[in-house]
A and B are shown apart, each in its own frame.
Chain A
């Protein structure tokens, strides 16, 4: 059985364990739950999977107010009521007021689509439970029109979570799971090469060093992650900062330039400046 397999692309570096997780869930048609630090490319993964398998991507972004039902369909009773007051003929057919959700779209797609359910942990605690049957059987029932919607092709479902809420066991049972670890220096180098192929090696080396040093600073509220590093490098390139400016060993230039791209929290910046100040004093 030869299915098109997912692998690293020219714009995304996938580690072997991630590749295996994606391929397993594609082959067995199970949803894949992806967790990991913010900024490690969870959402981007779905785009890359869709691109490398040549399938359409449907995105369903979850907010704290999202209900599971909205992913299936919504019955727009209000417009129907309004139309009835206006005497519109459309009002006779309830089907006119059924608005398809993302899941329905995915189920009715002509080819097998990739469906991204982004940040599922943002929703209400019961949200995953309400999707159990839909994810399991890939079908649901529309009560208003008495119609059973079945997936024409089981979509490849990728679900991301930031761990803000625990997900229920019954839901986890139905998913495969992968935790994206923070990349080690070697993987990081490959990721940067993919994004900035013409980066000067010495700049890369210095930048990575000060990046990993920064991650080691204890007590940071939000550690800088891959996406922040990439943003920072972009800035460094745009400003044409020489690699020497990043060298943090001499006490004076200990603050990496443009560090605002790496630290996203004023308390972190404050803490960091204090540490640098202490370092300078010690260096004297």
Chain B
């Protein structure tokens, strides 16, 4: 029974290993939790889960396993499917049109049927080795394990309604920085942006200086130390989320992961479609916790290098017109705000995940490129490389 629990945890994307499972068995043998579900819950969590971001996933698996509550949906499929995985399937499998159609039909049964059919199909392909199923644990939409309700479709109709609502609202998740595959190359490309400086405590032996000083000291040892070299470059990263960026989530996450580990001074903010008077740091609280762009410019000095990441694909009026933003009324057009940021951060680039050969066909990209005076680069390894060179130019 515990083996199944273990497997369910793994399927839900909680990274548990055999070592931890054995440790749990050892703990049970030591009678740390005897015949009390509550105690067992805490014990297993302590032993198996190593990150508070996974607590939520753990809770859901625990609930499903120990209360014997199998969702109707899972029963129908005869398999245990983690909610997150399902949710991702739903998003990938159903096109917006389909979703709209289903919503129009108002029939969730229809929706379930469609999902089920797709899932069956998808399973075959899984055997064929389509990799993104296996990556469920890293699903961008599950990023921080906050998946209220998820697509726990089934149980009762009330649940079903809320599930649909959830996935209609889901658009803005924080980017998961846990994507390792493929980030190494990006890290190498980012490495171009290095400014070594000797700062902080004198830690490293200055060999030349020591020999020199010792010789001057008539052979008596006189040690000289210098501070270690650190990458002192400061980076301010602006990431576009939601809307047309959804298709680029993977590559943006890779960039984000790489940047997080490469730069010691990295600040990141999110925006939607274009830069206006506010940015935010946490997509879950984007409506509550915003930072005014002016304050941002006051907080971070011009020694920061600004990197904007966005597809710049929108209606040209979203850049050029006051009130052009699709989600709020902006008194000043986005172009003005971009210009302000460009002045505040003379070293800046824009990375665009859209393929470069498509740029000429999207008017808004042309507008943005004009504003940036050509400092737009594709979000590819080569593009990042070029962008970092541009940032490095003095």
Which A residues lie at the B interface, using CB under 8 A? 1, 16-17, 20-21, 23-25, 27-28, 30, 32-33, 35, 65, 78, 81-82, 85, 125, 169, 172-179, 218-219
Partner of B27, one of A24, A33, A169, A218: A24
CA distance A179 to B39 in the complex (A): 16
Contact of B32 with A172 in the complex, beta carbons under 8 Å: no
Contact status of A23 and B32, CB under 8 A, knowing A17-B45, A28-B23, A28-B26: yes
Q: Which residue of B lies closest to A25 (CB)?
A: B46
List 3 A-B pairs, minimum CB-CB distance, nearest first: A179-B52, A20-B42, A172-B50
Contact of A82 with B221 in the complex, beta carbons under 8 Å: yes
CA distance A81 to B30 in the complex (A): 52
CA distance A31 to B26 in the complex (A): 15
Q: Which residue of A lies closest to B53 (CB)?
A: A179
Contact status of A218 and B285, CB under 8 A, knowing A17-B42, A17-B45: yes
Q: Which residue of B lies closest to A165 (CB)?
A: B261
Given A1-B31, A21-B46, A173-B50, 12 further pairs, Cβ under 8 A: A17-B46, A20-B43, A24-B43, A27-B32, A28-B23, A30-B23, A35-B52, A176-B47, A177-B50, A177-B51, A218-B289, A219-B290
Contact status of A218 and B32, CB under 8 A, knowing A17-B42, A81-B221: no
Partner of A1, one of B19, B30, B221: B30
Interface string of B196-218 (1 = CB under 8 A from A): 00001101000000000000000
List residues of chain B with CB within 8 A of the CB of A173: 17, 19-20, 50
Give the dominant DSSP class at B's interface. Answer: mixed
Contact of B46 with A24 in the complex, beta carbons under 8 Å: yes
- B64 is an interface residue with CB less than 8 A from chain A: no
Tell me how far the C-beta of A137 lies from the nearest C-beta in chain B, rounded to whole angstroms.
14
Contact of A179 with B26 in the complex, beta carbons under 8 Å: no
Give the number of A-B contacts (CB < 8 Å): 71
Q: Which residue of A lies closest to B17 (CB)?
A: A173
Contact status of A176 and B46, CB under 8 A, knowing A20-B33, A82-B221: yes
CA distance A30 to B290 in the complex (A): 42
B contact residues, range: 35 or more
List residues of chain B with CB within 8 A of the CB of A23: 32
- B104 is an interface residue with CB less than 8 A from chain A: no
User: Can you pick out 15 interface pairs between chain A and chain B where the beta carbons lie within 8 Å of each other?
Assistant: A17-B45, A20-B33, A27-B27, A28-B26, A28-B32, A65-B203, A82-B221, A173-B19, A173-B20, A174-B19, A177-B49, A177-B50, A218-B288, A219-B289, A219-B290
Q: Which residue of A lies closest to B18 (CB)?
A: A173
Contact of B30 with A85 in the complex, beta carbons under 8 Å: no
- B361 is an interface residue with CB less than 8 A from chain A: no
Q: Which residue of B lies closest to A20 (CB)?
A: B42
List residues of chain B with CB within 8 A of the CB of A33: 50
Tell me how far the C-beta of A180 lies from the nearest C-beta in chain B, rounded to whole angstroms.
9
- B247 is an interface residue with CB less than 8 A from chain A: no
- B223 is an interface residue with CB less than 8 A from chain A: yes
Tell me how far the C-beta of B26 lies from the nearest C-beta in chain A, rounded to whole angstroms.
6
